[in-house]
Amino acid sequence: MSHTMLHLRNHRPQPVTTDDLKRANCPQRYWTAKWELIPPEARYVGEVLHYRDTLPTLLDQGVGLYLWSPENGTGKTALAALFVIAALANGYSAFFIRSSEMKEAVVENQRYDESTTLREHLRQVDMLVIDDLGKEHKGASGYAESLLEDVVRDRTQWKRATFFTSNVGPDKLASIYSADFADVLKECMLAVWVGGPREGGKAWREDERQRLQALRPARSANG
């Protein structure tokens, strides 16, 4: 699709299939994630549920989210996946990609489908989730940073929402990338701090560990 063409969106709610999730590159471990798993006492719950409940309006305005916490395992990626599923359920297109994969995908000219390169799809999809910003390889050429900024700038101009998850606080983006890149993100997304258990959130990785432990066979009395 040319960038000069209107990007038509289907607002009708629809069931989300496994094929939809695969096309969106949504990690399979989050396919069964539920909003109900977010602790009601979490400080960020009001912000993320407000976005979920007004998702069509915010997506149409090109407003994304910057989900961040310096801690790992607080649920940033799980939340991003829930938003991918919500977008698909509302008839929008969505795509999930790790920041570390973007440069390689573009350099290798990988394709999304027969008619579209992955780079084109990153620019055109209604909702783009870039996971783990700050963990991509930063070479001396600055290509990875330039690619990120170029994609986000293009999406901002066309009012297409971009989501990031990151361990990097918004106040540190200018020193890691550039002041221009930090300013672009401020223009097109809302920052949401996703705290862990000390802030009313949860340790999502601990939940996974306990689930795996529950699958172990019970030990006999004799050990």
Spell out the domain ranges in the chain.
18-214
* Rounded Cα–Cα distance for residues 8 and 135 (Å): 33
Helices (H), the chain: 18-23, 45-53, 55-60, 76-89, 99-107, 118-124, 143-157, 173-176, 179-188, 204-214
Say if residue 51's pLDDT is above 80.
Answer: yes
CATH of 18-214 among 1.10.520.10, 3.40.50.2300, 3.40.50.300, 2.60.34.10:
3.40.50.300
pLDDT tens string 67-109: 999 998 899 999 999 999 999 999 999 999 999 888 788 778 8
Contact 30, 88 (CB under 8 A): no
Cα(28)–Cα(18) distance, integer angstroms = 9
For the entire predicted model, the pTM comes to: 0.84
Both tokens of 157, joined, read 């101009």
Q: Is residue 64 a contact partner of residue 158, using CB atoms and an 8 Å limit? A: no
pLDDT higher than 80, residue 214: no
